[in-house]
Amino acid sequence: MIILTKLNGEKFALNNDLIETITENPDTTILLTNGKHLLVRERMEEVIEKTAAFRRKTFTDLLDGIRRQDSEE
């Protein structure tokens, strides 16, 4: 999940696996796989960076868990 900000300033968490496309014209619009659109304050590049950071952390945590398990055996 990534934390984003609605245009009204309200923060919310988004399951980044639901993102289909992101456009910026001029507001950043996120199209979800369920057809819903979200308008956010963050720029497109920032949403992409947050998504990449979340995925990087998820996979790093997974690999660390596998390595710990292997070293315990």
Q: How far apart are CA 37 and CA 54, in angstroms?
A: 21
Provide the whole-model pTM.
0.82
Tens-place pLDDT, residues 15-63: 999 999 999 999 999 999 999 999 999 999 999 999 999 999 888 866 7
pLDDT reported for residue 60 = 82
Q: Where do the domains of the chain lie? A: 2-72
Cα–Cα distance between 31 and 57 in angstroms, integer? Answer: 24
